[in-house]
Amino acid sequence: MTTRLHRRQFLFLGMGSIATVLAGGAVVRSMQASSRGSRPAGAPRLSSSAGELELDLVAEARAGTIPGGPAEVLTYNGRSPGPLLEVNPGDRVRIHLQNRLNQPTNLHFHGLHIPPTGSADNVFLRVAPGGSTTYDFTIPSNHQAGLFYLHPHQHGVSADQVFGGLAGTLIVRGALDRIPEVAAASEHVLVLKDFASGSGNPGSAMGMGRMLGREGPLLTVNGTLNPELSIASGGLLRLRLLNASNARIYQLALEGHTMQLIATDGGAIAKPEPLEELLLAPGERADVLVQGNQRGGSYSLQALPYQPSGHMGMGAMGRPAGSGSTLATLRYSGAVKPLALPMALIPVPEMPAPERTRRFVMGHAMGGMGSHGMGMGFQINGASFDPNRIDTRVELGSTEDWVIVNNDVMDHPFHLHTNSFQIVNSSEQLPAQRAWKDTILLRAGQEATIRVRFQDFPGRTVYHCHNLDHEDLGLMGVLQIDGKPS
């Protein structure tokens, strides 16, 4: 029996369902909502089987269930966040996206190294209301293990849809997961997302509108307010954090515990990096280990008040200062023989020397109100997004340094599609270790140099601010990668 036949025999039952495949008369569990680890109330996990993962993904508004939250939440398969997909390198992934929203949508596979074209990570696709499309791609056989992020990327409404609740996660399994100490840890995927309050958004009256990027007062983890995570005394937790918020930047701390960073956006780092605080901008991911080495009791995972850099003397423009908020509670329960931290993870190779350097300056300005201008908007190098204009043309296989300059009075997290990069220079603190990134926070007045190699996939894609209101207001450029796939 071929794998194609297997594929046709999948049943797609939607949210939380268990699909089965009949293989030669035997019932084989192929995708299931597993309960690996003691996760907080989370979305179902759909794992690939026999090299394939196929699912329906329905984008739809549903009645909100967050206490004090919005009346309506945008969901994938009835949930926000939507399903957690789990695949291996080499797997074929097919996602049948159905748009039951009242506006166009599409999907971006944030951080995945797959083609930016065709039915893969093509953000120029548009799925009309009531329409559907199938995303169909293969995870490269050498793809790094990591946590990746599915979200809509329809220019003009991406912030509405992400702020409204649309998000999904995708784990690529690999070498990092096989390191014995990492494998022994109990794994939790934590999707951090803020929601507007049900009484409307008082923030908008206080100026927290689209120019600053909309934030909501309800800070959820996997769609829940203050879920509980349990840890055994001596145990090891692996927290895989995603900031799936529209604009909110989290300054995270875990009361009483040091977080040991083991992976950034694009995959593992070389050795655990102890962190007392972790800054996570929209689109960024961090994978941390936490040792159950404190007295029993409960400890809060906190979002500390985030202090913008203030290079431009802005202070926290439009942002109430406030105190920290509890995102989740870590509770000790039981005891195990103490688990050790890994000594070494996965080496991160140094990138080749860059063949050229480019400069990207982000800011906001009047673009003129005529037929070609949009008036006030965000710009890169003086131009707001135009899908019909190529801003940057690079050669497949080449390595470049991109100097990203935030010349604005607010923070901008810069995100590049298709290829991960390394941060090689910064006007602020450089990362302690070489690391794979696809999103880098640039505070007001900051500049940083990223080194990127355009590998494997030619085609047209984008780079943009991951404060998605800023992206919708023009802070995006078109990248054309010229060349032939090897």
Partner 1 sequence: MVTAYRTASCGCCKGWLQHMRANGFQVRDVVVADLGAIKRRLGIPAQLSSCHTAQVAGYALEGHIPASDIKQLLRKRPAVVGIALPGMPLGSPGMESAYGKEPFTVMSFTRGGSVQPFSAHRS
- Residues of this chain that bind partner 1 (CB under 8 A): 204-212, 310, 312-321, 363-366, 369, 373-377, 379, 407-409, 472-474
Residue 315 interacting partner from Cu ion, partner 1, none (CB closer than 5 to 8 Å by kind): partner 1
Q: Which is nearer to partner 1, 184 or 317 (CB)?
A: 317
Residue 453 interacting partner from partner 1, Cu ion, none (CB closer than 5 to 8 Å by kind): none
Dist CA 32 CA 46 (whole Å)? 6
Dist CA 70 CA 160 (whole Å)? 13
Dist CA 446 CA 452 (whole Å)? 19
- For residue 84, the surrounding DSSP H or E stretch is strand 84-87
Residue 391 interacting partner from partner 1, Cu ion, none (CB closer than 5 to 8 Å by kind): none
Of 321, 357, 354, 362, residue with least CA distance to 446: 362
Q: Which is nearer to Cu ion, 93 or 468 (CB)?
A: 468
Residue 375 interacting partner from Cu ion, partner 1, none (CB closer than 5 to 8 Å by kind): partner 1
Rounded to the nearest whole angstrom, what is the least distance from the CB of residue 408 to Cu ion in the complex? 7
Residue 470 interacting partner from partner 1, Cu ion, none (CB closer than 5 to 8 Å by kind): Cu ion
Place of tokens 């930047």: 249
Q: Which is nearer to partner 1, 114 or 473 (CB)?
A: 473
Q: Which is nearer to Cu ion, 114 or 416 (CB)?
A: 416
CB-based contact 110:151 (threshold 8 Å): yes
Rounded to the nearest whole angstrom, what is the least distance from the CB of residue 109 to partner 1 in the complex? 27
Burial class (CB in 10 A: 0-12, 13-18, 19+), 217: middle
3-state secondary structure 256-314: CCCEEEEEECCEEEEEEEEECCEEECCCCEEEEEEECCCCCCEEEEEEECCCCCCCCCC
Q: What are phi and psi of 212, to 5 degrees?
A: -85, -20
Q: Under the criterion CB under 5 A, does residue 412 sit at the interface with Cu ion?
A: yes
Dist CA 472 CA 50 (whole Å)? 39
Q: Under the criterion CB under 5 A, does residue 470 sit at the interface with Cu ion?
A: yes
Q: Under the criterion CB under 5 A, does residue 465 sit at the interface with Cu ion?
A: yes
Q: Under the criterion CB under 5 A, does residue 379 sit at the interface with Cu ion?
A: no
Encoding tokens for residue 12? Answer: 């797609």
Rounded to the nearest whole angstrom, what is the least distance from the CB of residue 404 to partner 1 in the complex? 15
Among 154, 467, 476, 477, binds Cu ion (CB under 5 A): 467
Rounded to the nearest whole angstrom, what is the least distance from the CB of residue 380 to partner 1 in the complex? 13
Residue 364 interacting partner from Cu ion, partner 1, none (CB closer than 5 to 8 Å by kind): partner 1
Q: Which is nearer to partner 1, 70 or 116 (CB)?
A: 70
Rounded to the nearest whole angstrom, what is the least distance from the CB of residue 363 to partner 1 in the complex? 5
Q: Under the criterion CB under 5 A, does residue 214 sit at the interface with Cu ion?
A: no
Dist CA 485 CA 468 (whole Å)? 31
Residue 374 interacting partner from Cu ion, partner 1, none (CB closer than 5 to 8 Å by kind): partner 1
Q: What are phi and psi of 449, to 5 degrees?
A: -110, 125
Encoding tokens for residue 320? Answer: 């109430």
CB-based contact 457:115 (threshold 8 Å): yes
Q: Under the criterion CB under 5 A, does residue 210 sit at the interface with Cu ion?
A: no
Query: Which residues contribute to the site for Cu ion (CB under 5 A)?
Result: 412, 465, 467, 470
